Homo-oligomer: A and B are copies of this chain.
Amino acid sequence: MSGQGPKQAVTRKSGVALWRQIADQIRQAVSAGTLGADGRLPPEMVLSERFGVNRHTLRSAIAALVQEGVLRAEQGRGTFVESRQKLSYPISARTRFSTGLRSQTRDRRSILLAHAVEQASQRVAEGLGLAEGAPVVRLETLSEADERPVSRATSWFDAERFPGYAEAYAETGSITLGFQSYGIEDYFRKSTLVSARHADAADLADLKLSAGAIVLVAVAVNVDTQGLPIQYAETRFVADRVELSVSTEAQ
């Protein structure tokens, strides 16, 4: 609501500092194009009056967004929009990370942060259709687009069926290609549970976010052509940079 004059609402003594509430609102408005549509933000004095706070408080908000890479401030000139676009990540039966984003971004890559073989927790076992405590391969991966972290995923695979999957992934740099080295040419997304929460400390560090940031959490099960679960994954997307697109047309 409102692109120009009306005062924006901020709540005092709510446990969230004013500068953070304002930063969240500006980030959202910039992303939606209702602020800085011409690439330039109104002067600090104008914005501070619009939010009904002191100029210094507003400057704290801008400083946070500059830190995040959303804005860029230039002394004597003004404050400018550095990056606006939201990536749209499709969720369908043929969901694959790389293909979905290929057209929207220039540079994109996945990084394997860590991997281990462990015993399946109840949750993971249920997702993969294994017994609780069965050996599973766990992968911790980070995905970036245009040099900026976009998502952080934890995936589990049946260690009996995919021993050394981590190596296959490290070599190929792709989940899809990793499966191919086990003879799986095709697979499907069976289900996805989507929720949202504040990023926890680990997410903040890996995704280079500041506290209070939001992550979209997608818990997914991929199955092979027989319908057998082959991957259970929990992906945390940076909510400010990503939206999930669910297509439910006849398939």
Residues of A within 8 A of B (CB): 1, 9-11, 14-17, 19-21, 23-25, 28, 60, 64, 86, 88, 91-93, 95, 188-198, 200-202, 204, 210-212, 214-216, 239-240, 242-251
Contact = CB atoms under 8 A, between A and B. Distances in A.
A243 B219 CA distance: 10
A195 B9 CA distance: 21
B19 A16 contact: no
Contact of A251 (B191, B201, B211, B250): B250
A249 B191 contact: yes
Contacts of A246: 91, 191-194, 246
Contact of A194 (B15, B197, B244): B244
Contacts of A190: 247-249
Contacts of A92: 248
Contacts of A14: 20, 210-212
Contact of A195 (B19, B197, B243): B243
Given A24-B198, A93-B248, A251-B251, 9 more contacts: A11-B201, A14-B210, A16-B212, A21-B198, A21-B211, A191-B249, A195-B244, A197-B214, A197-B239
Contacts of A23: 15
Contacts of A240: 197
22 contacts: A10-B201, A11-B204, A15-B60, A15-B64, A17-B17, A21-B212, A24-B198, A28-B197, A86-B195, A93-B249, A190-B248, A190-B249, A191-B245, A191-B246, A192-B248, A194-B244, A194-B245, A195-B239, A196-B216, A196-B239, A212-B212, A214-B214
